Amino acid sequence: MVRLVSLSFAGAVVGSGASSYIHSSNTGSQNSLEQTISQWVQGQVGTRVGDGECSSLLEGAEDVARSAGFTVPKMTRHCYSDSTIYCWSDNEINYEDMQAGDFVQFKGWYERVTTAHGWHSKTADHHSAVVRAPFDGTTLKVWEQNPGAVDEGDYHPYVGTGEIHVFRMGSGGGPSPAPAPAPSPAPSPSPSGGCQDSPSSWANTDGEGCHKYERANFCTKSGGEGSGWRHGNWGSITDWADSQGRTALDACCACGGGAGDVVV
């Protein structure tokens, strides 16, 4: 698997490894997928998307784009040896090429910005966001959530340290023809007492909660590893627990855990 070239901006490191993974494909304007994503995300400002996790905003935008007929790949965590870096497409680009609607992944980011009124610092240790404007040479402008609802955010690559990965969403083509509808699946077991994630705020030490496990098919309702779980990269699903040792299989209804009875 190819990796990013290391680029240094006043201590800001963007990627590491071979340069063939970065593509310069700036067309000077948004492609149709980026337009669909950015218009939807802008309309979510002030609301919480999904479970409020930062990545749920991006996944919500992907779902909207798929519903509109676009082909959008699922996020993966195996394009780097560090599995905490989310890879939102196979086309990682430079700052200069970004357009509103592209996706951004931060890793270990810290910046301290000095203004006429003093200074402020900002961190994004493991964070996902959506580009809201092309890079102006100084400020990386995004939409983001967590903590709080969807809002505008600004980052400054030239005065920060850590990693920022920008992923081009789409190649400029329009939506793909809609496939023939699949047969309706059999109804899921209905809850009697109503299964609830327990604790409801459960998240592993990487910050991923039950909603993420269900959406990404990390697990099965029978308590096993799902089709989205990369066992070869991440090890056993039971290795990923919260600070009290509880795994998704213990806490999440989607993974066979949670609290409440289910009648089949």
Interior/surface letters 114-153, b for 16+ CB within 10 angstroms, e for the rest: eeeeeeeeeebebbbbbbbebbeeeebbbbbbbeeebeeb
Split at pLDDT 50, 70, 90, the class of 43 is very high
- pLDDT at residue 33 tops 90: yes
Q: What are phi and psi of 89, to 5 degrees?
A: -160, 175
Average pLDDT value for residue range 122-143: 94
Confidence band of 6 (pLDDT split at 50, 70, 90): very low
Rg (the chain; Cα; Å): 19
Beta strand 160-167 pairing with 103-115:
antiparallel
The answer to whether residue 150 scores a pLDDT higher than 50 is yes
Please state the pTM of the whole predicted model.
0.61
Our CA angle for 223, 224, 229, nearest 5°, is 130
- Average pLDDT, integer, range 203-232: 87
Please check the confidence at residue 195 and state whether its pLDDT lies above 70: yes
Task: Return the minimum-mean-pLDDT range out of 73-87, 125-139, 149-163, 173-187.
Answer: 173-187
Burial of 249 by CB count in 10 Å (0-12 exposed, 13-18 middle, 19+ buried)? buried
Give the pLDDT score at 120: 85
Give the per-residue pLDDT at 28.
65
Q: Give the CA distances from residue 49 to residues 37, 40, 54, 203, in Å, rounded to whole numbers and listed in that order.
A: 14, 11, 9, 17
Q: How confident is the model at residue 14 (pLDDT cuts 50, 70, 90)?
A: very low
Q: Which residues contact 160 (CB under 8 A, 6 or more apart)?
A: 9, 10, 11, 12, 109, 110, 111, 112
Distances, alpha carbon 236 to alpha carbons 81, 121, 218, 231, 240, in Å: 16, 37, 11, 6, 8
List the single range of 4-8, 20-24, 134-138 with lowest mean pLDDT: 4-8
Give the bridge partners for 164, in sequence order.
106
Coil, strand or helix at 214: helix
Mean per-residue pLDDT for 206-220? 87
Over the chain, what is the mean pLDDT?
A: 80
Judge whether 218 and 179 are in contact, CB under 8 Å: no
Q: Mapping DSSP to helix (H, G, I), strand (E, B) and coil, where does residue 253 land?
A: helix
Q: Are 197 and 256 in contact (CB under 8 A)?
A: no
pLDDT at 23: 44
What are the C-alpha distances in Å from 240 to residues 203, 219, 235, 252? 9, 12, 9, 13
